[in-house]
């Protein structure tokens, strides 16, 4: 289990009033620019955070609530953990589980301006918007390789020719594989396999995504994220199993 950071000291927490959902959103967007109010409501509906309610029914969040949300969002982004696993980790934290070999999750505190002590603020990957030359420079692939990737459909720019964070991830992965002698033509199967998964997963996500309810759309996005994470785990495990005989294990 992750080792969480300590939540804000009680004295500091008492010095700050409870926050509205909009204020919490402002805090979290410093590090998680894609988070939305619908996402926060969805996490509440899933039982991962329980903000207080005013007599009029408005949500009020403490610094501990913000730290809890940060832990959930970090576990999703950095470890691709499904909500079920994150919920179990938080339940262990809430219950004070000190089982040997397990560490209680560290809930990271943020300051009034949204800063995280000891952590620098970098450009969010979700906001990456690169031109062709920038993508080549930041990924390390050659211009000719980029053209070949586009010809094979492995990498497709957004209209009108910009590249997003996923394009950068793909290009960097291709650069890494090229160091081992793999060429773009060897990667055509990845595109075909991904397209098959997209078709399969779209059948599961589309009914939720078509609903007008923001909570349903948030659940659709969450379902897609968890399907992708499970797919990555399955693919990696199958490759490891397939290489065992080659490695003599």
Same-domain pairing of 16 and 111:
yes
Among 74, 43, 75, smallest CA distance to 221 is for 43
Q: What is the pLDDT of residue 62?
A: 93
Q: What is the pLDDT of residue 249?
A: 66
Beta-bridge partner residues of 61:
19
Q: Measured in whole angstroms, how far is the alpha carbon of residue 232 from the centre of its chain?
A: 13
Percent of the chain exceeding pLDDT 70 equals: 80
Helix axes 132-139, 165-178, angle to 10 degrees: 50
Q: Measured in whole angstroms, how far is the alpha carbon of residue 101 from the centre of its chain?
A: 26
Same-domain pairing of 149 and 205:
no
Same-domain pairing of 212 and 165:
no
Q: Which of 5-14, 150-159, 189-198 has the lowest mean pLDDT?
A: 5-14
Residue 162 has pLDDT above 70, yes or no: yes
Same-domain pairing of 101 and 148:
no
Same-domain pairing of 33 and 147:
no
pLDDT of 78-137, one tens digit each? Answer: 887 888 888 888 888 887 754 433 444 444 444 444 444 444 444 444 567 889 999 999
Same-domain pairing of 18 and 61:
yes
**Mean pLDDT across the chain:** 80
CATH code of 46's domain:
1.10.1660.10
Residue 14 has pLDDT above 50, yes or no: no
Residue 223 near residue 205, CB atoms below 8 Å: yes
* Mean pLDDT across 20-26: 90
Structure tokens at 63: 């610094």
pLDDT of 30-71, one tens digit each? Answer: 888 888 888 898 899 888 999 999 888 889 999 999 999 999
Residue 77 has pLDDT above 70, yes or no: yes
Q: What is the pLDDT of residue 17?
A: 82
Same-domain pairing of 65 and 10:
yes
Structure tokens at 191: 């595109």
Same-domain pairing of 165 and 59:
no
CA distance 109 to 104: 15
Same-domain pairing of 247 and 137:
no
Q: Which of 76, 98, 122 is the last residue of a domain?
A: 122
CA distance 174 to 76: 24
Residue 156 has pLDDT above 60, yes or no: yes
Helices and strands counted in the chain (H then E) = 10, 2
Among 63, 31, 39, 65, smallest CA distance to 51 is for 65
Same-domain pairing of 143 and 176:
yes
Q: What is the CA radius of gyration of the chain?
A: 21
Same-domain pairing of 134 and 174:
yes
Same-domain pairing of 167 and 208:
no
Q: Which domain holds residue 61?
A: 1-122
Residue 1 has pLDDT above 50, yes or no: no
Structure tokens at 144: 């000719």
Among 37, 9, 229, 38, smallest CA distance to 107 is for 9
Total tally of structural domains belonging to the chain: 3
Percent of the chain exceeding pLDDT 90 equals: 27
């Amino acid at each position: 289990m992750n080792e969480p950071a300590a939540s804000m000291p009680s004295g500091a927490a008492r010095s700050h009033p409870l926050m509205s959902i909009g204020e919490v959103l402002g805090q979290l967007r410093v590090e998680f620019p894609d988070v939305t109010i619908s996402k926060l409501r969805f996490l509440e509906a899933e039982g991962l955070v329980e903000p207080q309610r005013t007599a009029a029914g408005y949500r009020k969040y403490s610094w501990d609530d913000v730290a809890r949300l940060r832990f959930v969002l970090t576990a999703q982004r950095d470890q691709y953990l499904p909500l079920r696993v994150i919920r179990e980790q938080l339940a262990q934290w809430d219950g004070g589980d000190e089982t040997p070999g397990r560490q209680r999750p560290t809930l990271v505190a943020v300051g009034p301006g949204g800063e995280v002590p000891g952590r620098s603020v970098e450009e969010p990957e979700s906001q990456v918007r690169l031109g062709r030359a920038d993508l080549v420079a930041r990924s390390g692939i050659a211009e000719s390789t980029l053209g070949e990737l586009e010809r094979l459909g492995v990498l497709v720019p957004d209209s009108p020719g910009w590249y997003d964070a996923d394009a950068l991830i793909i290009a960097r992965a291709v650069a890494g594989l090229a160091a081992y002698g793999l060429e773009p033509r060897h990667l055509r199967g990845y595109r075909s396999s991904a397209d098959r998964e997209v078709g399969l997963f779209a059948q599961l996500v589309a009914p939720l995504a078509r609903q007008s309810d923001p909570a349903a759309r948030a659940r659709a996005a969450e379902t897609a994220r968890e399907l992708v994470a499970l797919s990555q785990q399955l693919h990696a495990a199958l490759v490891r199993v397939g290489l065992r005989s080659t490695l003599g294990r």
